[in-house]
Structure formats: C-alpha cells, structure tokens
Amino acid sequence: MTPNDADHEFARLLKDVELPGVSRGDLAGLVRERFMRRRRRRGTIAAGCASVAVVATVVPLTVLGGHRSSPQPTAPASPLVAVGECAGTTVTANVTSAEGAEGSPRIEEIHGGEGNSALTVPVGGVIWFTADGPCADRLGYSGFAPLLGVSSSQGYVIGHVVVRDAVSPGRATVTVELLCGEASGDGACRPPGATDLAMVDVIVTGGTGTPAADLWHGQDGTVAAAERIACGPGPTGSNPAVAQEQRDTTMAPTGDQMSRMSAPHTTTPTPAPTPTPVPGERDYGEMRFAPPPAAAHPAVCAPLAIQLAAKGPTGVKGSAPIDVRLAVFSADDPAHINVDGSSTPYFTNVLAWEVVYAVDAVCYGLKGTCSSGPIPADGFTVVDATTGQVLVTEEVSRDALVAR
Amino acid sequence: MGGSSDGFGDFVAARQSSLLRTAWLLTGNWTSAEDLVQTTLLNVLPRWERLSREGNPEAYAHRALVNTYLSWWRRFRRREQPIESLPEPGSAEAGYDAVVLRDQLVRAMSVLPPRQRAVVVLRYLHDYSEAETAALLGIAVGTVKSQGARGLAAARAQLAAITQESSL
C-alpha cells in the first residue's frame, strides 16, 4: 500500500467508523433550553460584576462596602433548600490551593442565605461547587466575572471558580441560584428566572511569594504602560526558529521521512512533561507568558509591535489592542514534529510582545465572509521584541483570557 | 422545542451526526463530544438567522467547534489522564469489531497534539481543502500542509502499532 492509499484508507476509517449507539434525543431543543438558561444567568453575572467591580483593586482583603460586612457566619446555618420539591438539595464547595493540585480539597458545605463562612483561596487556587439532591440540575452560580471559570453541566458540578494569577487579592461574592422554570413555584422558587439561594464570600489571598502584579513591573496591559518601557533602536536580526518553521511549513516531508513517521512505533511517544509554573506567568495552555526580567530592553518598541500585530491572523479581523505586555514567551506548539513522533518547540524563552485584541468578526469561508461573528473570542499575536517578527497568532475563547 | 420553523432544528437534525463524529474524534470520548457539540450549537443559535441568510452555518459550526475544543484543552489539559481503554459503553447492536476499531481509532488520534488533531479531522473527515482548513483554524496554509501530513502519518503509525499489539 502506498502512503497515498494509506491516507485514503485512514480518511475512510474516520468517516465510516461506527459511533457509539447513544440516543441523541432532541438536540436542538436541548440547545435552546441551555441557551435560555445561559441568557438568564448572564444577566445575573453582569449585575454581580457591577456590584463588586471595585473588589480587585482593593488590596489586601479590605472589607468592602456593600451588603456584606463580615466573613464570619452571622446566622445559624440553614439548609440550602428546606421547603418544596427542592428540599434536601445541597451544595458543597471544594477548595484547592492550585489548579491541578494533588491531595484532597478542603470541603465546605454551603448553607442558605448569607450566613456562610468566607472561602479563602490563594491566587492560583480553584473552587468548584458540587450539588446533590432533587434540584441539583437546576442550580447555577454567578459572581465577579474575573473569578468565574467554566460553568459545567456535566454531572453535578455546577461551576468552577478559578482564581487566576492576574486577579488581585481581595474579596468577591458568589451567589448560588436556583433556576426557576414555568412549572416551579413551590416555595423554593419564584418563576420566572432564578432565586438566590446562598451567598458566599471568596477571599483571594496573595499567595506566598511576590504578588503576581508586581512581577510585571507596572505593566497593567495598557498601551501607556507598555510605552513606558525603555526600548530601541528597532528590529534587529531574525529569529532562526521562524525560518525553521517556515521551512517546515513549506516543505512537505520527504518520502523517507514519511515512511519512518508512518511505520508502527514500538512504544507510545512519551507525553511532554508539564512545565513548572513560573510565578506570575500567564498560561494559555500550550503557550505561556512569564514576566520579563526587570532589566529587559526590547529592541522593538510597543507602538511598532502593535502595528506589526495589527496585520492580524488569517481569517480574523482584529481591533485596537485591549492588552499589551512585554513578556518572556514559550510555546509547546507550534513545534517541529520529529520523525519519531516527538516534537521540538520552536519558541522557548523569547522576549516578546503579547498583543491581545478582541476578535471583531470571524471569517469562516474562503470568500471573506466575515459578518456573522463574533464567536466569543479574543486573539493574541506574539511579536519577537528583538526582531519584530510575528511568532504566533492565536484565537482563544474569551473566558480563557477574561481574567487578565 | 427543536422545531424546524426557523431552520435551526432542521440544521441540527441534518448535521448532528457529522458534528458529533467530529467532536468525538477530537475529544476521544462520547460525553465530552456531546457537551462540545451542545456548546458549539449554543454559539450558532443566537446567530442563526444571520448565518442561515448569508453564511455557511456548517463551516461556522466547525470553526466554533474546533475553537471551543482547543480552548477546553487549554483549560483542562493538566487534568487529562491517559487511559488504557475508553470508558465508553458498548451497545448491543454494535459488533465487537466495531467497538474495538472505535477504541483503536480514538487511541490513535489521541497521540496527536490538539491542533494537529483538528487539522486531520477537518482535512480528512470533512474533506476541507488546505486553504479552507487554514481559514477555519486561522492558521497559515503551510501549517495545514505540514501539520496534516505529519498528523496523519503519526495517527496511522499509532493505529498500526495498536492493531499489531492487539493481534498478538
């Protein structure tokens, strides 16, 4: 069989393999229902954001004005839902010190009303809420947007609070709510909409080291802050990794390379180890931006980097930047793919400008149809701060970057 | 609720198998695939009227699906645990061979980095051209060429190894 035949054979397999025989039900109906629930919830989140938006600027742990004044319980603990068809529904907060941290999470039961003890979590920590009982699948949560992670409908995990590094120490309030459908109205719910069941403060501590914000040497993401960084004289030289990547992407693998890549490997390639997190690092998955050294002196100044980034990626129309920072950039991908299936990243510890912009529109066809966006997304372009070459352009979902 | 008066229900009914297949090949498990498709369609629904009037809803859905998948992977990658076999229920109708093949194929695809997996799926499952795949993923045509070729080769090699291993 030639490599070409084998390609066709593999493509046929992708198309023909039998899917698991799981009933799909009324998928469109399910999507509409989730859409309505999300729309209701989004309204609550927006309101919550407005009421506690000052939290992140108050450092550290200052008690805020507003309807809450004490992290300690002020009333006897009450069940989350005591009456009606939802009686017996419970919510538990699971708190870990860091995303992916090993060991058992600290578990706190959430009681109804405002009498919950505050949840203390360090920067980089994670809280997730799990629900149990008759109305577990109708629970949601809302809160200060930069603290909110993914709301999951899988199982009874009703939401994650991921305290990202960019969140300053401070306090925010998370509200657990019961979604109320038309059939509700049994005393636990006031339809239509959602009833707030419990409020719980989240206190974000600064962790053990230097606050993440300080490591960025005053860079707050604004163009003004980026322009204050000493720079010049202008682009110089070229990054050899860019040339390597261009060679890789323009030259098809040779027949010999293809044969070696297509030959059965005796062992499964070992996954690359997870890099050790750097304090203050902005981590987008396979791409990471670490704070630059204090003495970093980019040859390319911020305004030029923004201009270079504005050329934009294929298929995405970018607007003015919404975040610009000088950083030390590393990426697991893009990478050179070796014949044994392993990969060698092109870019490791490159002083670079990270330019983030909102994706105004998404072009999804070859004819430049761009008017039906946006997919909720941001994009970022990484510009080599020495050579001025664009290293990477990426589009990511908005909530992956929302905690800037 | 999933009525077809505005065409959205019809679109979902016609394309859900294709979208689920795509999502399953990307995520490697059925639960995540279903959630991924639902999340994708949540992005399509509010734009449906406009998409159906002037756009290409399927291409838009593919783009949204891949974008969401890559974002999920970024967020949850550290929780991914490689497993020997897939916790996927078999079905009475599905023959043993089909279940085995499905398991082998997903395991073979799982060795690819996420973006490479996306390129392979768009190119070889949906037959998008290199230029179309590049436009959908927001990357250069050259990257599609190299990632596609290498991804396909790696997946084929892995599949051959898995098949060989299970026939021993």
In chain B, residues with a C-beta closer than 8 Å to the C-beta of A394 are: 138
pLDDT, residue A32, reads 78
In terms of Cα–Cα distance, which of A305, A300, A314, A323 is closest to A380?
A323
- pLDDT tens profile B132-167: 887 777 677 777 887 888 788 888 888 888 888 777
Block residue for tokens 């330019």: A355
Best probe of the A interface among B48, B66, B74, B143, by most A CBs < 10 A, is B74
How does the average pLDDT of chain B come out, rounded? 76
Cβ distance B156 to A363 less than 8 Å, yes or no, reads no
Which residues sit opposite A113 in a β-bridge? A198
pLDDT tens per residue across all 404 residues of chain A: 555 777 788 888 888 887 775 555 678 887 777 666 554 433 333 333 222 222 222 122 111 222 223 333 334 457 788 877 788 888 888 787 665 555 677 888 888 887 788 888 776 677 777 777 777 767 776 665 444 443 333 334 455 555 554 455 566 677 777 776 655 656 666 655 667 788 887 777 765 455 556 788 888 888 999 999 999 999 999 999 988 877 776 665 555 655 555 555 444 445 455 556 677 777 766 678 889 998 999 999 999 998 888 765 443 445 667 788 999 999 877 777 666 656 678 899 999 999 887 655 555 444 444 443 434 455 678 999 999 998 887 665 443 332 22
Select from B112, B125, B15 the least CA-distant residue to A13: B125
> Do the Cβ atoms of A365 and B56 come within 8 Å?
yes
Mean pLDDT confidence for B92-120: 79
**Any chain B CB within 8 A of the CB of A21?**
yes
The alpha carbon of residue A149 is apart from the nearest alpha carbon of chain B, in Å, by: 9
Q: Give yes or no for A104 touching B (CB within 8 A).
A: no
Q: How big is chain A by its Cα radius of gyration, in Å? A: 25
- Interchain CB contact of A343 with B (< 8 Å): yes
Contact A14 B88 (CB under 8 A): no
* Alpha carbon of B129: minimum distance to chain A alpha carbons (Å): 10
Report pLDDT for A208. Answer: 47
- Of residues B45 and A164, which shows the higher confidence score? B45
ipTM of the complex: 0.82
- Of A16, A18, A160, A401, which to mutate for an interface test with B (greatest number of B Cβ within 10 Å)? A18
Least confident of A373-382, B19-28, B57-66: A373-382
What's the average model confidence in pLDDT over B114-123? 89
In this predicted structure, what is the pLDDT of residue B122?
Answer: 92
Q: Coil, helix or strand for B115?
A: helix
Q: Which two tokens stand for residue A53?
A: 């938006």
Q: Is the pLDDT of residue B57 over 50?
A: yes
Residue pairs spanning A and B at CB distance below 8 A: 240
Say whether the peptide bond before residue A233 is cis (omega within 30 degrees of 0). yes
Short-list A107, A106, A129, A121, CA closest to A175: A129
Put simply, the answer to whether A13 touches B68 (Cβ < 8 Å) is no
Tell me, yes or no, if A311 comes closer than 8 A to chain B by beta carbon.
no
Contact assessment for residue A221 and residue A302, using Cβ atoms and an 8 Å cutoff:
no
Helix (H, G, I), strand (E, B) or coil at A356: strand
CB A265 within 8 A of CB B157: yes
**What is the reported pLDDT for A211?**
57
- Report yes or no: A39 and B49 within 8 Å, Cβ to Cβ: no
Record: contact B1-A6, CB cut-off 8 A: no
Q: Which among B17, B125, B157 has CB closest to A262?
A: B157
Is A195 in a helix, a strand, or coil? strand
pTM for this entry: 0.53
Cα A97 → chain centroid: 18
User: What pLDDT is recorded for position A305?
Assistant: 93
